[in-house]
Amino acid sequence: MSKTILVVDNDPTQRRPITAVLEREGFAVTLLLSGDALLDHLAKGGACDVILLDLVLPGRSGIETLVDLRARGHQHPVIVLTASGGIDTVVSAMQAGACDFFVKPASPERIAISINNALSIGALRSEVAQLRKRAEGRTTFDDLVGNSPAMQLVRRMGERAARSSIPILISGESGVGKEVIARAVHGSSDRAGRPFVAINCGAIPATLVESILFGHEKGSFTGATERHAGKFQEANGGTLLLDEIGELPMDIQVKLLRVLQEGEVDPVGARRPVKVDVRIISATNRNLVQAVSEGLFREDLFYRLNVFPIEAPPLRERREDIPTLVQAFIQRFNIEEGRPVSGATQETIDLLVQHDWPGNIRQLENAVYRAIILADGPQLQPYDFPAISGLSPPTGPNQAASCPDVDLRSTPDAIHPPQADPPVRILDDEGHVRALDAIEGDLIKLAIERYEGHMSEVARRLGIGRSTLYRKVRENGLGEFAGLGGA
């Protein structure tokens, strides 16, 4: 997904070389001729990742535009362009909120470095803002990634539920982001900014569940050396997420039901109950209706929790969100790992969209994290996801590097002169026609070996798309052969 650079300059002789450099670097460029045009573009929600702003513009000057830009709350990184590098001009621009400047005409290297630095600053600001909102309990549904119909339904349901203190049960497979939805409900409610406490009920030792949830007094049992408030009291005034609620022991389910009915908890060893004001959100990857029928979950508690159900969709039902999720993960891991990856190739995106992701968003996140560490180039390639593509990263310089006058991808016949057709067996040992899948696998293996793993040429010779080829390589277990040459 290309980053969008706004070039605000009314001088065509200066715009052309800058635009040429940006487009050569793979950026999408939008040209604007004045400060008013820039402010209008942003007011309408136009795409923008970095702004190149000339200081000399018709009407509103560059400095005035920058001041108005910040006053209106736009925090996009701004690089100012100037015909002279006077210190007063630079200081004024920096004080107004610019992150960098360069004197026209600038070298292509200077422009590229300045843009990439600005993108890093923008990504860091965005990540810090997200972390601050999360820490303050102000995450909203606008912070959820994805605009698929399934996610739009989740947003609508969650925003309605957030307007009241109605108990919510979020169900869905592991890794779909149930806690993120719960945080958005909390941040969109009148409890935003108050405590949001999440507890995984399946991760608590059975002997400690009551103490951790409801608290205990000092000396109430062996090892209770001090008073403990418990999760309900920690979340007082805010929201408590009971994740994996279906894992609670039956005796604790009885006590939880009483808390929900009476609005008070009984800490272990306490003389009297403690009043609490907590909004309860539950989450589970289990079928609680089946658990109730099997006697593993109390029916009265189920109906108490399942007042407002929200179904979190698995990733395979919202594939159109995968490119946006991938880009969001790339941006985050670039910051965390200090990596310069700008995105993923279209072939890679197609590969990831076609995958079923049984581990959902958590699996995708971990796959992108691993790919970021593996990546050697500016964009993620299919072989950076070996578990999905079945491909291995190139292990050494390919032969094209040692023979610069020969293009292995375009002239394989010059490297491999015509020979007698090698055998691809059609009949089995008993003389019967082999299964089509088996013949297909042998043919793909032959093509990969013949063209030394150059997958573009393999796909072209077989008459199929590269994404289809990668899928068939994976299905036939041919990853080790596909990694023999560059893709």
Least confident of 175-179, 333-337, 402-406, 436-440: 402-406
Among the four given CATH numbers 3.40.50.300, 1.10.150.570, 1.10.3720.10, 2.60.120.10, the one describing domain 141-313: 3.40.50.300
Handedness of CA 269, 271, 273, 274 (dihedral sign): negative
**Cβ(319)–Cβ(135) under 8 Å?**
no
> In this predicted model, which residue has the larger pLDDT, 466 or 374?
374
What is the distance of C-alpha 23 from the center of its chain?
26
Closest CA to 21 of 121, 123, 104: 104
pLDDT of residue 109: 80
pLDDT of residue 175: 93
Strand (E) positions, 215-287? 239-243, 264-265, 274-275, 279-284
pLDDT of residue 84: 67
Pairing of strands 168-171, 308-311: parallel
Averaged pLDDT score across all residues of the chain:
84
Please list, in sequence order, all residues whose beta carbon lies within 8 angstroms of the beta carbon of residue 203, skipping any fewer than 6 positions away. 244
Percent of the chain with pLDDT over 90: 37
DSSP type of residue 259: H
- pLDDT of residue 116 exceeding 90: no
Pairing of strands 379-380, 264-265: unpaired
Q: In 10 A of CB 332, how many CB atoms?
A: 18
Q: How far apart are CA 266 and CA 215, in angstroms?
A: 8
Q: Where are the domains of the chain?
A: 4-133, 141-313, 317-389, 399-482
What does residue 334 show for φ and ψ, rounded to 5 degrees? -60, -45
Closest CA to 472 of 351, 340, 339, 291: 351
pLDDT of residue 294: 94
- pLDDT of residue 362 exceeding 60: yes
Q: How far apart are CA 3 and CA 353, in angstroms?
A: 21
Highest mean pLDDT out of 97-111, 304-318, 395-409, 444-458: 304-318
Closest CA to 239 of 296, 291, 199, 292: 199
What does residue 23 show for φ and ψ, rounded to 5 degrees? -65, -35
Please list, in sequence order, all residues whose beta carbon lies within 8 angstroms of the beta carbon of residue 49, skipping any fewer than 6 positions away. 3, 4, 5, 76, 77, 119, 122
Closest CA to 391 of 483, 485, 484, 486: 483
Highest mean pLDDT out of 341-350, 439-448, 467-476: 341-350
Q: What end-to-end distance do the CA atoms of the chain give, in Å?
A: 21
pLDDT tens-place string over residues 146-164: 999 999 999 999 999 999 9
pLDDT tens-place string over residues 371-394: 999 888 888 999 999 989 888 777
Q: Could you check whether 4-133 and 141-313 share the same CATH topology?
A: yes
pLDDT tens-place string over residues 161-200: 999 989 999 999 999 999 999 999 999 999 999 999 999 9
Average pLDDT over residues 303-316: 95
- pLDDT of residue 402 exceeding 70: no
**Cβ(482)–Cβ(473) under 8 Å?**
yes
DSSP type of residue 171: E
Average pLDDT over residues 268-284: 91
Q: How far apart are CA 22 and CA 108, in angstroms?
A: 9
C-alpha dist (Å) from residue 109 to 21, 115, 233, 305, 331: 9, 10, 57, 59, 23
Structural domain 4-133, CATH architecture: 3-Layer(aba) Sandwich (3.40)
**Cβ(83)–Cβ(104) under 8 Å?**
yes
Split at pLDDT 50, 70, 90, the class of 395 is low
Q: How buried is residue 217: exposed, middle or buried, by Cβ count under 10 Å (0-12/13-18/19+)?
A: middle
Average pLDDT over residues 289-300: 94
Q: In 10 A of CB 106, how many CB atoms?
A: 19
**Cβ(117)–Cβ(26) under 8 Å?**
no
Q: Global pTM?
A: 0.66
Q: In 10 A of CB 34, how many CB atoms?
A: 17
Q: How far apart are CA 186 and CA 235, in angstroms?
A: 12
**Domain 317-389 falls in which CATH fold?**
Helicase, Ruva Protein; domain 3 (1.10.8)
Handedness of CA 437, 439, 443, 448 (dihedral sign): positive
DSSP bridge pairs for 142? none
> In this predicted model, which residue has the larger pLDDT, 216 or 409?
216
pLDDT of residue 406: 39
DSSP type of residue 107: P
C-alpha dist (Å) from residue 65 to 39, 60, 69, 83, 378: 8, 6, 6, 17, 33
Helix (H/G/I), strand (E/B), else coil: 309: strand
- pLDDT of residue 421 exceeding 70: no
| Peptide linkage before 105 cis (omega within 30 of 0) | yes
Strand (E) positions, 322-380? 343-344, 379-380
Which pair of tokens denotes residue 329?
């993960």
Closest CA to 455 of 442, 438, 471: 471
Closest CA to 310 of 408, 209, 433, 171: 171
pLDDT of residue 360: 95
Percent of the chain with pLDDT over 70: 90
pLDDT of residue 46: 86
